[in-house]
Amino acid sequence: MGILDRISTILRANINALLDQAEDPEKTLDQIIRDMADAIGQARGQVAEMIAQEKLLEADMERNQNLGREWGHKAELAVSRNAEDLAKEALRRKIDYDRNAQAYASQLQAQQEVVSKLKYDLEQLESKYEGAVRNREQLISRHKRALAQQKIAQTAAQLTAIDPSSELSRMEERIRMEEARAAAISEVNARPAALEDRFAHLEADSELDRQLADLRRKVTGQLPIPEEELRPAAQLPNPSGASGGSAGG
């Protein structure tokens, strides 16, 4: 195959594909029905024309047959009157008309076969036309249903291709990671405070233990004697300072 042939094939294929995409089945059906109606009208005209020719052939055949019979009678009359020359001429014409009638009969038979075939074809075309008219709404409904199914299938395919569950899973993992990072940052920031709190608790516990030990010694008599109690009586302050001084004198 040459380059030009291949290019021509590719162009035809692309053009046919574009036509298929642009074709509207409803409009196409209406156009087909109109074309069939036009074809039926033309076929009826052709059949009528062929029937007219058939009638003409039939009329020519009958006319020649009648003329042949007439000249046959004239030949008989001439023979009965001993007019041999007229009898021969009458027979000659009778033979010509008979031959013409036979030729017309052959043509008429062929014409009748053609007319019969055309009538059958016309009946078939009319039947298809009536079927197309009856089934138009059904075919259009089937086409619309097929388009709806195609749209549903395309939408389902798009949803399958999108697969939002994978995106949701990815976002969930990202959120979990952010939560883990936030928890880690909180834990890191909380360690110094926790250490200080532990030391504070230790100091509070030491003070509490000391006070508890003092209380225990006090209760058991092991508490140290205050310095006021260890001083001699003479060193104790005299509540009435004057009398103390006279005693010393």
In this predicted structure, what is the pLDDT of residue 145? 79
Name the pTM for this structure.
0.48
Q: What's the token pair of residue 119?
A: 């009538």
Radius of gyration of the chain (CA): 66
Say which residues have a Cβ less than 8 Å from residue 69's Cβ, sequence separation at least 6.
94
Give the integer Cα–Cα distance in Å for 129 and 37: 7
Mean pLDDT of the chain: 77
In this predicted structure, what is the pLDDT of residue 243? 44
Does 67 score more than 90 pLDDT? Answer: yes
Question: For 66-80, 102-116, 154-168, which range has the lowest pLDDT when averaged over its residues?
Answer: 154-168
In this predicted structure, what is the pLDDT of residue 174? 83
Domain coordinates of the chain in residue numbers? 10-162, 181-223
Give the integer Cα–Cα distance in Å for 217 and 223: 5
In this predicted structure, what is the pLDDT of residue 165? 65
In this predicted structure, what is the pLDDT of residue 77? 92
Give the integer Cα–Cα distance in Å for 214 and 57: 154
Amino acid at 154: Q
Average pLDDT over residues 25-47: 85
Q: What's the token pair of residue 224?
A: 């140290």
pLDDT tens, position by position, 77-125: 999 999 899 999 999 999 999 999 999 999 999 999 999 999 998 899 8
Provide the CATH number for the domain formed by 10-162 in this structure: 1.10.287
Cα-flanking dihedrals φ and ψ of residue 224, to 5°?
A: -60, 145
- Angle at 190 (CA atoms; ends 187, 194), nearest 5 degrees: 125
Percent of the chain scoring above 90 in pLDDT: 29
> Between 2 and 129, whose confidence is greater?
129
